[in-house]
Structure formats: structure tokens, C-alpha cells
Amino acid sequence: MTYTALDLDIRDNIAWITLNRPEQYNALNAAMAKELLDVANRCGTDKRVRAAVLTGTGNKAFCAGGDIGGFAVKPEQLEMRLKEMTTVLHAAVSRFAWMRAPLVAAINGVAAGAGLSVVAFCDLAIAADHAKFTSAYTKLGFTPDGSSTYFLTRLIGTRRAAELYMTNRTLDAAEALDWGLVNKVVPAAELMGEVTALAEQLAAGPTEAFGGVKELLQTAPNDTLESQMERETRVLARVSTTTADGHEGVKAFLEKRAPVFKGE
């Protein structure tokens, strides 16, 4: 697939995904949604990919949300366009959430609307110190999409999510860190260096085990204690006994050396 709204570069077991509509502040349109789904499918099936990074072009915006200007060209088609785009976008979110490789958000600027949703569905997030976060949906008379009502409430709680949605307040990077929306805030000039170091660490790790962690974190909030513990047993038994990295981890422990994982 030829990409027009984003760039994909897979190298050294890391998939670098860059939203690339800088003149529109990397806003989501139908093309970007389709390309994100294609990328998510590729990252989820390409065994070379052991970590992924999602960022935006430039230093102003990570993703400014949906491209409202583009959607509103023909108001009579707005409902159909929104249903089409969210169907594709939500499929992409699901693929990213369940793929084995950890997905890191490198937040290089404003994350608004669906951009906030993208931050929320990534597994880990590092923000530049000038980054801003806002919902902005109800400012337009809209409601959230892109999975944020699912992931955001898990990250920051229902009260704070409701505050973001209903007041449209803007969080600066320090507040986003305090609220638990991001893992780390660094000076803008250091963002990609920090993200690269984290991505390289993840790409050298036990990828199947990371996938198991993601699976368990998805099910935990909606399961009973006993059911979740049974899931833990099954995933642990599967990963520790059927993967090469599981065998390597035990062998390295017994030999008192650092393990060398291959993502298998």
C-alpha cells in the first residue's frame, strides 16, 4: 500500500509510524484511518516488528484530531463519512491493542480530540515538554471516538475523563504526567532520543511475553478476580513453555547471565 497521510519505516525490529499531514496539524482523515489500519495489520503480522513508535511530523502537533474541515465539505454526508472513518479507525485501534509488539507514543506537540485517543491507546507514552492535551469534542457538540472512553477512563479515571470531555480543559505536559496520561516528559530536543532508547530496549525484549502482558491488561478491568487469575495462569504457562524466549530466560537465569531474546 502506498501511504499518503503517514510514513512507515521498519528498521532494526522497530516500526516507526509518523502521521504526516503537517499543514493540517496531522489531523485524521479517511485516508489516514485506512493507512493506520494497514500499518496495524502489518505490524501485527510482520515478525520483524518487536516494538513500534507512533509520532507526528513537525514540532507543533502530534495529532490535532479529526479533520473537521474535510468532513464538513458536504454536511449532508457527515454522518456517513464519520461512520465510515470511525469504523476503519476503530479496527486499527483494535489491531494495535492486541498486537504483540509494544506501541510507544512520541508526543511531539498538541494531542487533541482523536489525537488524545491515540495517546490513550498506545501502551507507553513519552511527551515533549511543550505538548498539550485536550479533548475538544464537546466544544464542537460532538462526543468522543477513537477508543478514548475505553482507554482514557482506565488511565486517569472516570472523574478526570469526564472533566476533560465536559470542560475541554487543556493539560500541559506536566499535568498529563501527574494525571497518568503519559509515562515521561522530556525536553523537546531530547524526545526522539528518549523514545529511541525505549523502543530499542523493547525491541530487544521477550516480544511474546510483552504480547501476553498486553492481553492481560486488556481483560483485567472487566473480569472477576478468579477469571483474571486463571487467564494469568494460562498466559504464563503458554509463554514460558512454548516460546524460545521463555526457554532462554530460564536458561540465562540458571547460567547467571543476561538473556538474549529473539522475539520468538
Active site residues: 90, 145
Spatial separation of the C-alpha atoms in residues 26 and 110, rounded to whole Å: 10
Spatial separation of the C-alpha atoms in residues 23 and 15, rounded to whole Å: 24
Greatest pairwise CA separation for the chain in angstroms: 68
* Residue 57 cell numbers, joined: 511530523
Handedness of CA 70, 110, 58, 182 (dihedral sign): negative
| Sequence-ordered list of residues with C-beta below 8 angstroms from that of 57, at least 6 positions apart, any chain | 7, 18, 19, 20, 21, 22, 26
Q: Are strands 51-56 and 103-107 parallel, antiparallel or unpaired?
A: parallel
